[in-house]
Amino acid sequence: MAAHKRPLEAVAAEQEAPRSPRKRLRQTVLLVMRLERRRARAATVGQMVRQAQLDRAKLFVFLMLLVSRLCSVERLLQQLRNLLPGAFRSLTVSIQDPIRSTVQTEMQGRQAASLPNRISEPPRHIPEGFPETGGNTRVKLRFVDVDRPEDPIYTGYPVQWLNKKDARVAVFENDRQITQGDLSKLQIEILAVHAEFFTERGQADFTKEEFNKQICIHKGNESVLTTVNLANGAAYIGSVIFTESSQRKRLRLTARVKGQDLDVRVQEAITDPFVVKVGRSKQNRKSYPPSKEEAVYRLEKISLKGKHCTLLSEKNITTVKQFLRHYYRDESGLQKLLDMKEDWSTLIKHATTSDPGLEIYSFIVEENTELLFNDFYNLVGMMIGGLYFPVNGLNQFQQIIVNKWKMSAYEKFDERENSGGLTPDYFMTNGGPVSAGPSVQAGRMTWQYPNGKAAQHGEF
């Protein structure tokens, strides 16, 4: 009997029947797991990228540190290379004398032994110091009684020294002046040398040959400025005048022994550096700091024959003091007069380095209240009831009132100046005003009050 066959429609219907919940759950779990694995792989790739970036950053920092260390090592090697020659010279100098003394003693001993029938001569006295070819020496020339030359120096004018004294040159041995013997009677030449070598090398560690290479040459000859003879180890050098400018190059004055035909090397004296300018430019030289009595063209940005000097002269502003008096009473007006913009700050910065001195002028505004000004008419403080208050100690209200009084004070000072009666009322001593004297104090009351009455501008 043939097997019973199911129709195709029944089989298809059975296959299309819905899957069981267990199978659907299993498939869902598998799908979620696949998605998680993909996400994990993506996260791993991102971490690897970030890690690679971090490694590159660390490598860059490491390389920068390595370069910095290499630069430091290079600088250290450069410094060591610069120090070694000086150390070697010092070592050579330190062992030269003992070796020379030992060799000399040995040679004298051998000579005495080889000539038994002769009377041994005493060893010849060797002067202190080293031979001419040496470097450091214990015998030196020095400029004394002076500090350093003024800078700049001008052709046709004698060299001036900062402490305004006359320079002497003297010979020393181990910091003691030599006053007797041949070395105390040397002939000394004063001449100019190039400054740069001695700036790098120092003013004490050089040989005669190195020194000679730095001497300034003029028309094929060494520029010897003057010659003097030592007496008892010293001599004034007198007037030293340059005839040629240094073309902006820095020079130094030096003193050397003429000829140096000695058993001892006498080291040359060297000054601090300076520039030599053409003499006609001296009239426009600037002062640092400018004196209050100097001409106004001594200030930076104002030249003697320039338009600014002419404008100031038309307003009777001819000195640094007059310039600063106008500046403190009307800064904007002064700037407008000169029509300065970019150069204004440079001019004022230089001018305000001038010292006003100790003079203090008083303006009585009311009973027991005075304004105090320095010689530039710059307000420095107040006297209230006999007590001094510096201007930087005033409160805002007091400063407002003070500014109202200042113009009246300036007008009164002008009146006193024109009448020849502007004399100091106080002198600034140890940060406070000290009365100029009873005669001045007695006369102050006659001019300070308009019409004999005190100004009424309010009270403190």
* Per-position b or e across 263-273, b if 16+ CB within 10 A of its CB: ebbbbbbbbbb
Domain boundaries, the chain: 139-281, 286-351, 359-452
User: pLDDT per residue over 209-250, tens digit each?
Assistant: 888 888 888 777 787 889 999 999 999 999 989 888 888 788
Architecture of domain 139-281: Sandwich (2.60)
Please give the residue that has the higher pLDDT: either 446 or 37. Answer: 37
* Burial class (CB within 10 angstroms; exposed 0-12, middle 13-18, buried 19+) of 455: middle
- In this structure, the number of other CB atoms found within 10 A of the CB of residue 429 comes to 10
Please give the residue that has the higher pLDDT: either 333 or 114. Answer: 333
User: pLDDT per residue over 168-204, tens digit each?
Assistant: 999 999 889 999 998 999 999 999 888 888 877 666 6
- The dihedral over CA atoms of 270, 209, 158, 152, expressed in degrees to the nearest 10, equals -70
pTM above 0.85, yes or no: no
Least confident stretch, 130-139, 221-230, 307-316, 333-342: 130-139
Of the candidates 232, 237, 150, 251, the one whose C-alpha atom is nearest the C-alpha of residue 193 is 251
Please give the residue that has the higher pLDDT: either 318 or 92. Answer: 318
- The per-residue pLDDT of the chain, averaged, comes to 78
Please give the residue that has the higher pLDDT: either 460 or 39. Answer: 39
Q: How confident is the model at residue 52 (pLDDT cuts 50, 70, 90)?
A: confident
Per-residue pLDDT for 362 more than 50? Answer: yes
Per-residue pLDDT for 454 more than 70? Answer: no
Write the CB contacts of 53 (distance below 8 Å, at least 6 apart in sequence): none
Least confident stretch, 112-116, 118-122, 217-221, 273-277: 118-122
DSSP 390-437: EGGG--HHHHHHHHHHHHHHHHHHHHHHHHT----SEEEETTEEEE--
Please give the residue that has the higher pLDDT: either 55 or 250. Answer: 250
Per-residue pLDDT for 367 more than 90? Answer: no
**Bond before 289 cis per omega within 30 degrees:** yes
Q: Which residue has the tokens 């000195």?
A: 319
Asked if residue 222 lies in contact with residue 231, where contact means CB atoms within 8 angstroms, the answer is no
Pairing of strands 274-277, 153-154: parallel
- Largest pairwise CA distance in the chain: 166
Residue 455, SS3 per DSSP: coil
Of the candidates 162, 128, 141, the one whose C-alpha atom is nearest the C-alpha of residue 234 is 141
Write the CB contacts of 55 (distance below 8 Å, at least 6 apart in sequence): none
* pLDDT number for residue 147: 81
